[in-house]
Structure 1
């Protein structure tokens, strides 16, 4: 690069070109001359997106006859790769790159070195700016930055002069203008339709060239001050001052926020003539390039921290703060996000939010647990969704099938609406059963209860006609809080839930956090290194070690249940002594409150969740101490098969109707027969009609399931003759066929039992 050609000089010349009355083609021709001369590069070319292809629009150094003739698809050749990946290439020998393609009409055979940057508008590549040189050499960092600066200016020129397809200017590719079916992982089942709204609204940089450099510098200084103030406040909170790895992560984050090198690079970009937003974006582009070159995962994580801080700074300086929840939802909405936290989801209007599509997400993530409780369909692992969907696009989610249709054609919309209408009709039929008690054809009363975790969930009790709350997940309050919920706050929640439930029982599961439901204020050094968090330091294991946590919860529950019967269930019990230890905490608090002359519960009924297979080996010892036993099928399944449910390769691999699961469940049912203990099942297995049919045949008489499943299971119960069904199940278990699922479906169909 010529020493005299600074980025500032390039930008000044580009500004003059932009301000001239020259036609758009003339401006592009002048730009390639300026950049080529400044970088002392024999070739400088501009490719723009037209009709879905990258077309050579202007060049210095290649054959002029190739302009508007040479075209390549996105992903084709080096230029197409840059546009597809939205990344910079810097090659000493272009021909050595696996994506290199030679175009004879350009006359480029004599050039060796190659560097190219994407021309980006609204987060989409609308073109490519590239340079070539005869001698093999990598371009210097300052030269790449000059190209990136030029590309920013070009994006403004392109947008204002309609040089590319309208769809490209609006940030679209060919795949973003018609119907697209997205496949993902079903995280929370259901059908939903609405318009796409991005959780984090996109930041649009409308002005690239600064009018007043000093004013832009002051804007950045103020943004840095505001960002650092927010991070200082966060890191000074009590829960982050106790040490541990999370505190170290925050300190590293804080170190980046105060990094003088980062702020200096942004200042240098402003010195070259960029606005504050454009300067931050240019430095961020350089960071992304470095991230792609880093093999060390620890260093890569740190670069991700810097990327996150850049986004934060960009939002502050542009004034585009907050999420879509801040501005409110105006129509039925499908939320689009990379990932979400449970607290973020709860900020949205439940009347408008119909579904969520995540690029990431897993079956056990906190947000999915909350979404299921809210009755919101969630599709996860939808890779690239933010690049396919536009704000305001119509989206149809079929989370049952694990798909979403973006911009559906009319026939797709009609078919979906027909299916949706049938679903509503079915729901209306189920609603008519809300006052009907679920007796089997042979006269056995089955308890159909519902799961809950939010205060608002209790309203569903009367709406669906559940017999009570068979599982109230107390951890929701912990997951959405930045600090440990105080006893008074817990007390108010539990009292409100009991008041709302009235005469119907509520089974409170003590807090199940830790492991994959980590909260920052209760982490330990050991827990940070759990290789399999689902089987690590969590649930009752955590509560017994952090006895103060369980004491506070025990006292809050006992006080809330004053004058009523309190049902308490301990999660992830592995051995009887763990149940005894947890019960002792409650009994100690009961004794203390009695001494304080407090009004006590009429009775406390203690139960356990059977999720750990080891507990089945000692049920004869534990059952005499229990009032009830609930089988947690979600965790039990993954422990029995040693298969992480969050792993998409395993999520659908192991069938709930396999002989291994069903024989294990039958064994538990036999262990409780004739004993004074109520046996139930909580989890997704009990909410599926065919699986519920199998469980009824195995001897289970109480189900705790999602509210939307209550009606379907009540309707199913009324069609079943237990004696007949039990014989069928015993036959299937004694001599298992190739597919128990298929055989049971055939039997159900023959007996007029709908199991879809």
Structure 2
């Protein structure tokens, strides 16, 4: 193809459009297409391979032997054509036979052709075929020739889909390949079954050949203007921050949105004869091809950002706005997204939302925290999940193991349904005991409260069978808001929670933000340290930003008028921090009194022990507090110097380690001697075997996830506390090699409900 032929790409597309619009069978049209492309590109060979029954079949050729059509078939990854389709990449070779993947097929008569170039034919972001050209002379093809091939391949994908040559393009490949198993990072436990729904529905480009290039150009210009307005608004109002994005990412988005090179490439694609949508997708395909060759994680992130912007531009130009939450869920849904913000998650109908699958996601993200409170299973770090699943396909989610099955067979589906039924039966058994008191066989009462963060959680206390809320995470309101919640908004929430809880106690933890819980509207609290969990967060931040804490204190005081107010301060490292926080709070009580506002009947102040250093000064702290809560999640990572957000460490250190149990036994004993109630808040207390061990070292109060109330009550009602305490003393004096196995075996012998 001469260099000047690049300008004739539109003429090629016009010819293809005429072929597609004309009469004849799909086969006769493909035969005309290869002749047309070969002539336009001055190519000795032009061949089209299509994916059928998971094999790449030679469908049409100009230059190879016609007898090979529908006879030559290659597996994915086999030969040059198979490599292009399997890896969704371009090959441009001067000597085809020298490539390690080269596979000679004698029936084609291709032995006299040296040079080879091939591009994938892509539909719904997945290869469904290959377009290849060959020459006898050994040479690499010019960039303009490759560009022309890629543009033609895009138009071919529309023709192939319309003719149903591959049974709906990508879907045929996926179904013929059978069920897809994926392994990710367990973020929120639970099992679920539902239909795949994309948080941002995918735009399928239906029309690729433009009738009026100037009109298409104006459509793109308009879409760019609208997208840039949106990005500017994000920068000013920080609305984009609700998805957990950091300021530097937002600046990168803005940089890409105004990148002239990107818009120029889209314009060039329109010049070749593509519609606005096809031009955007054409440039997107080129970008994805480059992403596969990038090893630098930072550059990969930047390319992902550009792809997100491309998707935004595509939705704008096609007029397809909104998320799946805004259009509504019509069936049991497994939601799929790259990432998700807490506010976006809360927009979904909880009755229909069964699970969430993310390409990214982390254990400490805002969305994960909210999903855990909602009881929605979440699996993250599922690479390329958005490109591996079709809308509406059945998905089985095992959040307990971080595994996912797409398009399950009957056998897999039946096995999953059996496990799900057993789980539901166990849940029914737990529901039978949820309203019974958590009293052991030897008459020891155990307090079972729940962790919460939403007003709806308080409304369900009676249904759950919990004694109250032992930890209300006030930061949820801050995480799901686009702007800083004022005192009035906070007060309305706290009033609603207290009214819904009735006579049941509610412990409000003052706001725990900062560190890894960055708020987009408070840019000056952003923590850039390597370990934000140990940085400027929680009470440290609140004491520094006293106006933030004053507003919350006043909101809590006014909301609890005429009631008992229980307040807990998080992340205390030394007693003086508690003293300062309490003093600030009591100053707001004086403010309310002077303003003749109605006060709480009583205020109880508590401390949250998450930092190991505080255990060494409990003798100073205990006389000043009304209750002590132990946050086992943070405490564990600090004790082991192991970041629980790191998947390599998430399961490495056991909660039943003698180091943790001895540490907690010392705290429980000291608090008991001082007459201060002590409660365990966190996932450790929500696991029956771990809770049994905690009871054995003197813990008698728990605040756990709502889903754990039934299992913990069942365990408590099967337990003889005196026996487990005696056993724990023995085991902690002389720890076994495997504490978990030893305790589990002991529990089974005594028929305790710890499964």
Normalising to structure 2: TM-score of the pair?
Answer: 0.93
Q: Distance in 2 between matches of 1:664 and 1:97?
A: 62
In the other structure, the counterpart of 1:571 is 570
SS of residue in 2 equivalent to 1:194: strand
Q: Distance in 1 between matches of 2:278 and 2:335?
A: 28
In the other structure, the counterpart of 2:693 is 694
Q: Distance in 2 between matches of 1:252 and 1:372?
A: 31
Answer whether contact 1:39 1:143 (CA < 8 A) is retained: yes
SS of residue in 2 equivalent to 1:431: helix
Give the Å deviation of 1:307: 1.9
Q: Say if 2:168 is the partner of 1:173.
A: no
Aligned counterparts, 1:14-33, within 5 A: 14-33=16-35
Q: Distance in 2 between matches of 1:3 and 1:404?
A: 49
2:57 corresponds, among 52, 55, 58, to: 55
In the other structure, the counterpart of 1:675 is 674
Q: What are the superposed Cα offsets for residues 491-523 of structure 1, whole Å, 9 maximum, x if unpaired?
A: 111111011111111111111122222221223
Q: What are the superposed Cα offsets for residues 472-504 of structure 1, whole Å, 9 maximum, x if unpaired?
A: 011111111111111111111111101111111
Give the Å deviation of 1:450: 0.4
In the other structure, the counterpart of 2:222 is 222
Give the Å deviation of 1:288: 2.6
In the other structure, the counterpart of 2:431 is 431
- Name the CA shift for 1:394/1:291 in 2 (closer, same or farther; >3 Å): closer
Give the Å deviation of 1:644: 2.0
What root-mean-square deviation, in Å, do the aligned CA atoms of Structure 1 and Structure 2 show? 2.5
In the other structure, the counterpart of 1:79 is 81
Q: Distance in 1 between matches of 2:104 and 2:581?
A: 72
Give the Å deviation of 1:296: 5.3
Q: Distance in 1 between matches of 2:239 and 2:85?
A: 45
In the other structure, the counterpart of 1:117 is 119
Q: Distance in 2 between matches of 1:246 and 1:201?
A: 24
Answer whether contact 1:91 1:114 (CA < 8 A) is retained: yes
Q: What are the superposed Cα offsets for residues 27-72 of structure 1, whole Å, 9 maximum, x if unpaired?
A: 3233333333433444332211022111222333445444333322
In the other structure, the counterpart of 1:614 is 613
> Gapped runs of 5+ residues in structure 1?
none
Q: Distance in 1 between matches of 2:175 and 2:737?
A: 42
In the other structure, the counterpart of 1:233 is 233
- Name the CA shift for 1:260/1:383 in 2 (closer, same or farther; >3 Å): closer
Q: Distance in 1 between matches of 2:719 and 2:240?
A: 55
In the other structure, the counterpart of 2:474 is 474
In the other structure, the counterpart of 1:34 is 36
SS of residue in 1 equivalent to 2:605: strand
In the other structure, the counterpart of 1:754 is 753
Answer whether contact 2:685 2:704 (CA < 8 A) is retained: yes
Give the Å deviation of 1:108: 4.5
In the other structure, the counterpart of 2:129 is 127
- Name the CA shift for 1:173/1:542 in 2 (closer, same or farther; >3 Å): farther
Answer whether contact 1:627 1:676 (CA < 8 A) is retained: no
Answer whether contact 1:217 1:267 (CA < 8 A) is retained: yes
In the other structure, the counterpart of 1:152 is 154
Q: Distance in 1 between matches of 2:714 and 2:425?
A: 14
Report how many residues are paired. 750
Aligned counterparts, 1:208-607, within 5 A: 208-237=208-237, 246-247=246-247, 249-294=249-294, 297-524=297-524, 527=527, 529-607=528-606
Answer whether contact 2:518 2:525 (CA < 8 A) is retained: no
Q: What are the superposed Cα offsets for residues 650-669 of structure 1, whole Å, 9 maximum, x if unpaired?
A: 22221111222212221221
SS of residue in 2 equivalent to 1:482: coil
SS of residue in 2 equivalent to 1:197: strand
Answer whether contact 1:176 1:388 (CA < 8 A) is retained: no
In the other structure, the counterpart of 1:715 is 714
Q: Distance in 2 between matches of 1:461 and 1:553?
A: 24
Answer whether contact 1:474 1:510 (CA < 8 A) is retained: yes
Which stretch shifts more, 47-56 or 414-423? 414-423
Q: Distance in 1 between matches of 2:387 and 2:176?
A: 8
Answer whether contact 2:630 2:681 (CA < 8 A) is retained: yes
- Name the CA shift for 1:38/1:465 in 2 (closer, same or farther; >3 Å): same
Give the Å deviation of 1:389: 3.0
Answer whether contact 2:52 2:173 (CA < 8 A) is retained: no
In the other structure, the counterpart of 1:741 is 740
Give the Å deviation of 1:686: 0.5
- Name the CA shift for 1:139/1:535 in 2 (closer, same or farther; >3 Å): farther
Give the Å deviation of 1:206: 0.8
Answer whether contact 2:127 2:170 (CA < 8 A) is retained: no
Q: Distance in 2 between matches of 1:109 and 1:365?
A: 57
Q: Distance in 1 between matches of 2:432 and 2:48?
A: 66
Which stretch shifts more, 437-446 or 455-464? 437-446
- Name the CA shift for 1:35/1:480 in 2 (closer, same or farther; >3 Å): same
SS of residue in 1 equivalent to 2:171: coil
Give the Å deviation of 1:239: 8.7
Answer whether contact 2:368 2:378 (CA < 8 A) is retained: yes
Give the Å deviation of 1:414: 4.0
Q: Distance in 2 between matches of 1:176 and 1:632?
A: 49
Give the Å deviation of 1:102: 4.3
Answer whether contact 1:121 1:171 (CA < 8 A) is retained: no
- Name the CA shift for 1:200/1:667 in 2 (closer, same or farther; >3 Å): same
Q: Distance in 2 between matches of 1:380 and 1:247?
A: 23
In the other structure, the counterpart of 2:199 is 199
> Gapped runs of 5+ residues in structure 2?
none
Q: What are the superposed Cα offsets for residues 576-624 of structure 1, whole Å, 9 maximum, x if unpaired?
A: 2222222222122222222222222222222122222222222222222
Give the Å deviation of 1:733: 1.3
Q: Distance in 1 between matches of 2:238 and 2:17?
A: 51
Q: Say if 2:182 is the partner of 1:187.
A: no
- Name the CA shift for 1:240/1:379 in 2 (closer, same or farther; >3 Å): closer
Answer whether contact 1:514 1:523 (CA < 8 A) is retained: no
Q: Distance in 1 between matches of 2:180 and 2:302?
A: 35
Q: Distance in 2 between matches of 1:618 and 1:282?
A: 64
SS of residue in 2 equivalent to 1:173: helix
Q: Distance in 2 between matches of 1:81 and 1:667?
A: 62
Q: Distance in 2 between matches of 1:431 and 1:544?
A: 42
Q: Distance in 2 between matches of 1:33 and 1:615?
A: 80
- Name the CA shift for 1:293/1:140 in 2 (closer, same or farther; >3 Å): farther
Give the Å deviation of 1:525: 7.8
Answer whether contact 2:51 2:173 (CA < 8 A) is retained: no
SS of residue in 2 equivalent to 1:207: coil
SS of residue in 1 equivalent to 2:433: coil
Q: Distance in 2 between matches of 1:238 and 1:457?
A: 28
Q: What are the superposed Cα offsets for residues 100-147 of structure 1, whole Å, 9 maximum, x if unpaired?
A: 444455455565554322111222211011234455554443322211
